[in-house]
Amino acid sequence: MRDAFHDDLDSIRLMLVEMGLMVGRSMALATKALLEADLPLAEQVISEDAHIDNVQHELDAKTLTLLARQQPVAGDLRSLVTSLRMSADLERMGDLINHIAKVARMRYPAKAVPIELIETVREMGKVAEQIIAKATSVIESHNLEEAMQLEKDDDEMDKLHRKLFLTLLDDSWSHGIEVAIDMTLLGRYYERCADHAVSVARRVYFLVTGEYASELS
């Protein structure tokens, strides 16, 4: 019975890793769709968000079943509780990426991102992919040193977010309010996605140590 329970715990961790990999792939595709006005790619990202949701539902159902049947304590209980929270973070990241793809779809056939911000948004996409990949690795490995690095990685996203806003507020901005609103929302989607990845790392820290980490630095 105990071996079967720990096999179930391992399968839940693998499902979380699967979610992380799907989210990372979606982020790469959504950024490409956004910058290249690629409608089929945007539609693909939007449709695949439902698959991320389905994995979360399956994972949460399995976790709740184990909680009810096994009544775990200590580290096993932490593992199940943090799994529920991490799946919620990953699902929310998928939703934010879905919003990025929908901006690309809404502005098609035009490119949603003006030329002044293409490199900034491209960098935000790259940083987001790296942060998601690292968060996924932390879920799999429970490596606290790697988890602690995510806070610093998120600082880079915050810098890019500020850079985006400085461009929008510059007197030379000539693309109007509608595009400015799009860019404000896009910046928020990328920034919040990185925040959720940091949240995942903090939850792994709690899982391993039994202590909360308000900051990982």
Q: What is the largest distance, in Å, between two alpha-carbon atoms of the chain?
A: 67
Nearest to 154 by CA among 73, 70, 217: 217
CA distance 58 to 54: 6
Which secondary-structure segment (H or E) carries 30? helix 2-36
Contacts 24+ apart (CB under 8 A), 77-81: 78/206, 78/207, 78/210, 79/9, 79/12, 79/207, 80/9, 80/12
CA distance 121 to 101: 13
The pTM of this model reads: 0.93
Q: Are 131 and 157 spatial neighbours (Cβ–Cβ below 8 Å)?
A: yes
pLDDT tens readout for residues 156-169: 999 999 999 999 99
Q: Are 19 and 59 spatial neighbours (Cβ–Cβ below 8 Å)?
A: yes
**What average pLDDT score do residues 136-150 get?**
93
pLDDT tens readout for residues 16-40: 999 999 999 999 999 999 999 999 9
Which secondary-structure segment (H or E) carries 201? helix 176-209
Q: What is the mean pLDDT of the chain?
A: 93
Check: CATH 3.40.47.10 for 2-209? no
CA distance 164 to 189: 13
CA distance 214 to 217: 9
- 20's CB contacts (< 8 A; 6+ apart) are 90, 132, 133, 135, 136, 139, 200
Chain CA centroid to CA 103, Å: 17
Dihedral of CA 27/32/34/35: which sign? positive
**What average pLDDT score do residues 36-58 get?**
96
Dihedral of CA 95/160/28/216: which sign? negative
Tell me the pLDDT band of 197, cut-offs 50, 70 and 90: very high
CA distance 34 to 44: 12
Of 44 and 215, the one with more pLDDT: 44
- Name the residue ranges covered by the structural domains of the chain: 2-209
CA distance 47 to 156: 30
